[in-house]
Amino acid sequence: MTIKILGSGCPNCQKLEQNVKKAVEELGLKDIQVEHIYDINKIVEMGVMSTPALAVDDQIKASGRIPDVEEIKSWLK
């Protein structure tokens, strides 16, 4: 499974990345690749117009908001 955080690295993007890592840790998941995409062209190519955004296996799950740890965990189960 690949999780992508899409955003410029702003505080909101960093908070989203923290939430993702916490969700992965709480679920005890292995073989998860967490990637942060900073390149605006790649972000737009994925169809995201508002950051921060989160994609799980290249499917956009959230855009323009910071989902909480429990919501992220529901997408990873």
CA–CA separation, 27 vs 73, rounded Å?
7
- The two beta strands, 2-6 and 59-63, are unpaired
Query: DSSP letters along 32-56, please?
Result: -EEEEE--HHHHHHTT--SSSEEEE
Q: Which of 13, 16, 20, 53 is catalytic?
A: 13
- pLDDT band for position 67 (50/70/90)? very high
Task: Reply yes or no on whether 2 is catalytic.
Answer: no
CATH numbers and ranges of domains, the chain: 2-76 (3.40.30.10)
Q: What is the pTM of this model?
A: 0.93
Is residue 14 a contact partner of residue 69, using CB atoms and an 8 Å limit? no
Q: Which of 1, 10, 34, 40 is catalytic?
A: 10
Structure tokens at 48: 């995201």
Task: Reply yes or no on whether 59 is catalytic.
Answer: no
Which tens digits make up the pLDDT trace of 36-52?
Answer: 999 999 999 999 999 99
